[in-house]
Amino acid sequence: MAKGELIITADQRPATLLVGVFGPHNPIRNAQYYYDEFVSLVDTLGTVYDDTLFIKLRYVESNIFLTKGKLEELVQFCEGRKFVQIIFSEILSPLQERNLEDVLGCTVIDREQLILDIFSKAAKTTEGKIQVEMAAIEFMRVRINGKGKDFAQQSGFIGTRGPGESYREEIKRHFADKYRQAKKKLDTLHNSRMVQRKQRLESKIPLISIIGYTNSGKSSLLNRMTKSDVLAENKLFATLDTTTRELYIDQTKKYLISDTVGFISNLPHNLIEAFKSTLDELDYANLLLHVIDLSNPSWEDQIAVVNATLLELGVSEKQIIHVFNKIDKISPEEMEALQERLQSFTPAILVHTMSKEGVAPLLEVIKKYTF
C-alpha cells in the first residue's frame, strides 16, 4: 500500500495494527503480561485497532529496529490488509521510525508517542498540561529530519520564515520558541509551588508520598486513608497530577500525604524530565509508601521498574515502606506460597482498600514511625 493512501474502516477510522515486541532487555520478564499491558495502553487512549501481532526479538537492528526475518514476517502479515497506522510497543529512534514507515508504507507510532497521547488526554491541571506539552515539543523536535512540511503542518506549525532561513531551520526555531514559552510558564508555577512548600516545611508536619507502578491502587489507597474522592479508575495513568491530602490518625496525629503519577516499564525519558518539577515533591518527603499490586503476576518486575525510576530521579535513598496492595484478590494458599518471596522486601505491610480495616495495619505503622 502506498504511503498516504488513507484506508478508512466502516466505522470511519484508520485501519490500525498493534505490534507488540518483546526484546532482549525488557524489564518485564513475563512476555504475555507485557503484551497485555501494551494493549491496555492502547485501550486507555481509546484507540480502536483491527489486529495484533506479537513478536519476540533476540536483538535490535539499529537502523530499522526489527531483524530482517521479523521485518519480513511483519511485511507479509500486512500484505492485503491495508493498514494506515501501526502502533509499536517499543520506543523507536527517529531513524528507525522513518525506515519502518518507508518499508511498511504507513504511519508508525511508537511507545513514546502513545504514552504522550495518553498523558495529554489525562492531564487536567495547568501544570500537567504544560509538562506534557514540553515533552511533546521535544519529541517532535528530534523527528524533524526527513519529515518535512507535512510533519510541520501536523504539529500545528504556521510558517514565519526569516530571510535566508531554510524550512527545517524555521521549524527548529518554532519548536525552540514553543519550548521556551512553556518552560517559562512552568517555572512560574514551580516558584508558586516552592512558596507553598516552604510554608509546609515550616509547619513541621510530616510529608508522606505514595509511589508505585501505574494502576497499583495508589489513588484508592489515598482515598481510603484520608476519606477523599480522588479519581481512582482501573486503567493505566488514570491520574497524572500530584494530589496532597491531610491524614489524621487517632483524630489527633496529623500528616500530609501525596499521590504521584504512576510509573511504567520503558517510560520515555522525555516524560520523566518534563515531570521532574512535579516529582520533586519526592525530594521533600519524609517517607515513601511504595504501593505494589500483589495480585499482578509481574509484581517483582514492577518493583524493579519503580526502583530504577527512583534512582533516575535521585530519590532512591529515601526511607521506603513496601505496601503490598490488593491482597483481597489473593487466596490463602497463594498468600502462603508468596511468603518467602515477600521476605526480600522489608519493611513491608499487606493491605487492601475494600474497607477501612484493610488499611488499618498501614495506619498503625505510620503512627509508630519516627519522623
Instruction: For residues 178 and 209, state if they share a domain.
Output: no
User: pLDDT for 29-62, tens place per residue?
Assistant: 999 999 999 999 999 999 999 999 999 999 999 9
From 55, 75, 109, the end of a domain falls on 109
User: Is the pLDDT confidence value at 145 over 70?
Assistant: no
Going from the C-alpha of 97 to that of each of 27, 191, 326, 336, the distances in angstroms are 22, 38, 39, 47
Sign of CA dihedral 28, 33, 37, 38: positive
Same domain, 135 and 246: no
> What confidence tier does 149 reach under pLDDT thresholds 50, 70, 90?
very low
Q: Which of 20-34, 64-78, 177-191, 229-243 has the lowest mean pLDDT?
A: 229-243
d(CA 263, CA 216): 10
Answer yes or no: do 54 and 153 share one domain. no
- The residue among 87, 109, 131 that closes a domain is 109
pLDDT for 147 equals 56
Asked if 211 and 350 sit in the same domain, the reply is yes
Span 216-226, pLDDT tens digits: 999 999 999 99
Give the mean pLDDT of 248-257: 88
Phi-psi region of 365 (alpha: psi -120 to 50; beta: other; left: phi over 0): alpha
Q: Is there a contact between 226 and 359 (Cβ–Cβ < 8 Å)?
A: no
- Same domain? For 64 and 149 the reply is no
Q: Nearest 5 degrees, angle CA 141-CA 143-CA 144?
A: 75
Q: Of 268, 306, 302, 305, which is closest to residue 109 (Cα–Cα)? A: 268
Domain annotation covers residue 5: no
Clarify whether residues 273 and 157 are in a common domain.
no
DSSP class per residue in 120-153: HHH--SHHHHHHHHHHHHHHHHTT-TTTHHHHHH
Global pTM reads 0.86
How do residues 292-337 score in pLDDT, each as one tens digit? 999 999 999 999 999 999 999 889 899 999 999 999 999 999 999 9
Q: Tell me if 192 is assigned to some domain.
A: no
Whether the CB-CB separation of 242 and 260 falls below 8 Å is answered with yes
Quote the pLDDT of residue 128.
86
pLDDT at 166: 67
Residue 4 within any structural domain of the chain: no
Asked, for residue 191, whether it belongs to a domain, the answer is no
**Top-confidence residue, 142 or 1:** 142
**Which range scores top for mean pLDDT: 117-126, 149-158, 161-170, 206-215?**
206-215
Q: Is residue 294 part of a domain?
A: yes
State the total domains in the chain.
3
Residue 188 is assigned to a structural domain of this protein: no
146 burial type by CB count under 10 A (0-12 exposed, 13-18 middle, 19+ buried):
middle
Query: Looking at residue 67, which CATH number applies to its domain?
Result: 3.40.50.11060
What phi-psi label fits residue 295: left (phi over 0), alpha (psi between -120 and 50 degrees) or beta?
alpha
The band of 196, judged by pLDDT with boundaries at 50, 70 and 90, is confident
Neighbouring C-beta atoms of residue 259, cutoff 10 Å: 27
Same domain membership, residue 52 and residue 25: yes
Q: Are residues 43 and 161 in the same domain?
A: no
**177 contact partners, CB below 8 Å, separation of at least 6:** none
Residue where one domain finishes, among candidates 59, 87, 109? 109
- Tens-place pLDDT, residues 81-116: 989 999 999 999 999 999 999 999 999 999 999 999
* pLDDT band for position 2 (cuts 50, 70, 90): very low
Q: What is the mean pLDDT of residues 277-287?
A: 85
Three-state SS annotation for 298-315 = CHHHHHHHHHHHHHHHCC
Confidence (pLDDT) at 11: 60
Could you tell me if 30 and 21 are in contact, meaning their C-beta atoms sit under 8 angstroms apart?
no
Same domain, 239 and 336: yes
Q: For residue 263, which of 229, 290, 224, 297 has the smallest C-alpha distance?
A: 290
* Strands annotated E in the chain: 16-22, 51-56, 85-88, 107-109, 207-212, 243-249, 253-259, 287-293, 320-325, 348-350
At residue 90, what is the residue type? E
pLDDT tens-digit profile of 152-170?
444 444 344 444 456 677 7
Q: Would you say residue 74 lies in a domain?
A: yes
Looking at the structure, do residues 101 and 125 belong to the same domain, yes or no? no
Same domain flag for 250 and 291: yes
Q: Is residue 95 part of a domain?
A: yes
Boundaries of domain holding 152: 121-183
pLDDT above 70: residue 172: yes
Regarding whether 357 and 311 lie in a shared domain, the answer is yes
